[in-house]
Structure 1
Amino acid sequence: MIDQLTTEEYNTYYRMYIQKATSANILEGLRERKQEFVDFISAIPSEKHRYAYADGKWTVLEVFQHLIDTERIFAYRALRFARNDKTPIMGFEQDEYVPFSNANQYTIPQLVADFEAVRSGTITLFSGFTEEMLTRIGNASGSPMSARAVGYILQGHQIHHFQVLQERYL
């Protein structure tokens, strides 16, 4: 299905994430990445949880919270698009979310529980979408976006942060 995705279904900003998606089947990709990320993040030593690789960069906990917040927002977008809601959806400022997330007050097990709940909800949501629903297009942040593009963006966004954590934090 990813090979059928057209550039009219997403803003080119998201191309990087879509290209990182590892599974053409959205549900398989979301399921596969779920446990992989839980295992990875759970193995990070506790002394690294509040570590940021440079001034002004997020901590490991903040990166994880960002991943969770973004998935919630994008799953909501997918729901609206799949239900043929044509009302434009405003964007969100990810950098404005972090200071108010209190992420550094949480533990990895708390965030893992939240991530697992959110990802399970996303999987349940996408499992109810028909092919027609997946191809419906709405508008987010002033650009067209399909429900299926959201599924690939979520896969790639998670992989992107997995790679950033490996390369810059560990």
Structure 2
Amino acid sequence: MEKRPGFKEYDAYFSRYVNLLPDGDIVAILEQQIKETNISLQNLTETQGLFRYSPNKWSVKEIIGHLTDTERILSYTLLCIARGENKELPRYDKDVYVQNAAFDKQTINELLLNLTIVRNATLQLLKSLNPEDWLRQGIANGSEVTVQALASILAGHELHHCNIIKENYFGSDYFPLCRR
């Protein structure tokens, strides 16, 4: 889908993600994005993966896990709406999910593999949609949203967190400089 979703296709809160995206085909953007995310994170040491720039912030590993959980949930939401679901789809509490996931016990490679597998499943789903499916609207997280908006929110959400990793984690004076 080449068209950027209109501001009436999603809750204003999500504009912080959608506005980060370049213009272009969202499927191609998502394909390129997972490659870039893997390149930027695959050589982290386990110590670097556990780094938190502040005691109350997630570790890099927890961010990767959060990206995977969120993609699974948004992809499911996207599927439901694309198939014509009329019921409101629920919110999820990201902090509870991260707290209960034990992402810090997984390796960087395991977390990135999981994220890549989930992304590939999302891409296959998006490629299977008909043009009219992209415009279907449903209710999720308490507001109306279209399928194309969900795909854009998903991509913008990953970009948002990758920017945070670069700025607040890699950019921290305390980020461990150890290498594999």
Q: Same fold (TM over 0.5)?
A: yes
Q: Deviations over 1:65-111 (max 9, x none)?
A: 00000000000011011111111011111111111011000001101
TM-score, L = length of structure 1: 0.96
Kindly indicate whether residue 100 of structure 2 is the aligned counterpart of residue 100 of structure 1: yes
Letter in 2 for 1:79: L
Q: Would you tell me which structure has more helix in proportion to its own residues?
A: 1
**Map of 2:121 onto structure 1:** 121
Percent identical across equivalent pairs? 28
**Map of 2:42 onto structure 1:** 42
**Map of 2:11 onto structure 1:** 11
Q: SS at the partner of 2:110?
A: helix
Runs of 4+ in structure 1 over 4 Å off: none
Instruction: State how many pairs are aligned.
Output: 169
**Map of 1:70 onto structure 2:** 70
- Structure 2 alignment gaps of length 5 or more: 171-180
Letter in 2 for 1:54: S
**Map of 2:57 onto structure 1:** 57
Q: SS at the partner of 1:131?
A: coil
**Map of 1:109 onto structure 2:** 109
Kindly indicate whether residue 76 of structure 2 is the aligned counterpart of residue 81 of structure 1: no
- Structure 1 alignment gaps of length 5 or more: none
Pick the structure with greater CA Rg: 2
Letter in 1 for 2:116: E
TM-score, L = length of structure 2: 0.90
8 Å CA contact retained: 1:52, 1:60: yes
Q: SS at the partner of 1:55?
A: coil
Q: Distance in 2 between matches of 1:94 and 1:23?
A: 28
Q: Distance in 2 between matches of 1:8 and 1:33?
A: 25
Displacement of 1:24 in angstroms is 2.3
